[in-house]
Amino acid sequence: MKLTIETRDVNTFLTANLGEQDAIDEFDFGMIKNNTIQGLIPAMYLEIDGTRKFKYNITSTISLKRFLAGEISRKTFLNLLRSFQKSFAEQQEYMMKQEYVLLDYEHVFINPAKEQVCLVCIPVTSIEKEQNLGSFFKDLLFHAKYRKNEDNTYVAELINFLSTGKGFSLECFGGILDEMIMKSQGYHPKQKEYIFQGEMINKFEKPAKEYKMEVKEPDVGNSEKKNSGLNMGFHIPDNKFMNEQEINGDNEGKKGFSLFGKKKKTEAGEYKRERVERAEEVKPTLPETDVAIKGYEVNREGKLVPCDGRKGIGALPYLIRVSTNEKIQITGEVFRIGRGRRYTNYCIMDNPEVGRNHADIVKSSQGYKIIDNNSKNHTYINGTQIASECPIPLEHGMTISLSGERFIFCLY
């Protein structure tokens, strides 16, 4: 059996070409054909000139391998794991064999816009092999890249659950994921408790108006109540204990301190505080005309620096959007472009012809490449359509067209 990717008009298909010895499991194929199973891509069976093949529509999806190349948020990753769990559980309900589902990262597909998994099930006995779902989820947790600014303790909790020797349970795993998703959405209310008249009571037991809060004043004895004011962490003497010399600042022989800086005595005998002013950092910027300066570029700190004409992996690439003349800095190992705001690094909201996750610009050891994400309206380089899921090297000055939206790729 051979797997290939084909593009027809606005759709992209994964095709499984069957050999002469490949026998189809009629029961599982009937389940896929006659039912809509969550997470499974519908299979189309074709026989043309003695050639048998299954076809799966993977338009607007990307492979799991490429999905894991970029950083994933906590919410997105939990939703993805839950989508896997629901699909596997529904397959068990239909009594299908798990061994027919492709679980290699290149042939598991993800819909980033919906944060859902799209699995390929090929009901052919020759590909049947034993699979361990617990090991699959654990491997997925180790391969993902998580956002550094988020609380990722949930990853350790999931790994601990999967590492127990009690056996993997899809039902238990789904329950843990549901609880984590609810917590991430803020659904973990805690009943606050208050102290009324020396007793601990729950505010939900009776209306709050039936209770009166008892406020006790501090016992100061017969002494006069004083306003504590601001506690500075040390004792500040009252003015009535300071002598006249200390008030006028004539006590030159004693060392003191000031909360407000250094004092300097002038010729007239008066004390004035010195103000230490810091020079403001001057940041170089582009001219107001916003024209390109030959031999210069804006680096990642926003500073104007000389450009040495670097190319390839050491360059600081950017895109110029032709319709708006906007300069777009390309950052990270995977730079995603599309109409989906949550998933992409650069969002194109004003062009409906652009897909939600149209294309990726990927940084590699050989330089930068662009990959079309099985988009409906395709990606073009210098006017030539590129194949989906096929990395194409980028060179300085190339024109990238996402449907009708044009960009110029620049390295210097």
Reported as a single tens digit per residue, the pLDDT across 332-344 is 888 999 988 877 8
List strands edge to edge, sheet with 116-118. 62-63, 109-111, 116-118
Calculate the CA 86 to chain-centre distance. Answer: 22
CA distance linking residue 355 with residue 149, whole number of Å: 28
Q: Indicate the average pLDDT of the chain.
A: 76
Q: How confident is the model at residue 234 (pLDDT cuts 50, 70, 90)?
A: very low
C-beta of residue 400 within 8 angstroms of C-beta of residue 378: no
Please give the torsion angle defined by the CA atoms of residues 6, 7, 12 and 16, in that order, rounded to the nearest 10 degrees: -10
Of residues 5 and 232, more confidence is placed in 5
Which has more confidence, 296 or 22? 22
User: Where does 185-300 have alpha helices with state H?
Assistant: 244-248
Confidence of residue 192 (pLDDT cuts 50, 70, 90): very low
What per-residue confidence (pLDDT) applies to 332? 83
At residue 366, the pLDDT reads: 83
Mean pLDDT value of segment 311-329: 79
Q: What is the pLDDT of residue 344?
A: 86
pLDDT at residue 303, as a whole number: 53
pLDDT above 80 for 220: no
122 has pLDDT over 60: yes
- The gap between the terminal CA atoms of the chain, to the nearest Å, is 46
Confidence of residue 42 (pLDDT cuts 50, 70, 90): very high
State the average pLDDT over residues 184-206.
48
pLDDT band at 290 (very low <50, low <70, confident <90, very high): very low
pTM exceeding the 0.85 threshold for the entire prediction: no
What's the confidence (pLDDT) of residue 314? 53
pLDDT at 279: 44
Which residue did the predictor score with more confidence, 357 or 245? 357
pLDDT reading at 205 higher than 50:
no
pLDDT class for 114, splitting at 50, 70, 90?
confident
Q: Does the structure show a pLDDT above 70 at 27?
A: yes
Of 354, 387, 356, which is closest to residue 370 (Cα–Cα)? 387
Q: How confident is the model at residue 235 (pLDDT cuts 50, 70, 90)?
A: very low
The answer to whether residue 191 scores a pLDDT higher than 60 is no
For residues 357 and 373, is the Cβ–Cβ distance under 8 A? yes
Provide the percentage of residues in the chain whose pLDDT is more than 90: 41
Contact 311, 412 (CB under 8 A): yes
Assign residue 248 a region (left: φ > 0; alpha: ψ between -120 and 50; beta: otherwise).
Answer: alpha
Phi, psi of 90 (to 5 degrees): -70, -35
Calpha distance 215→314 (Å, rounded) = 67
Residue that wins the pLDDT comparison between 350 and 187: 350
Among 152-166, 176-190, 277-291, 370-384, which stretch is predicted with the lowest mean pLDDT? 277-291
Q: Determine which helix (DSSP H) or strand (DSSP E) holds 410, and give its type and residue range.
A: strand 405-410
What residues contact residue 199 under an 8 Å CB cut-off, 6+ apart? none
Query: Inter-axis angle of helices 153-163 and 74-93, to 10 degrees?
Result: 30
Residue located via tokens 């998580």: 146
Helix, strand, coil percentages, rounded to 5, for the chain: 20, 25, 50
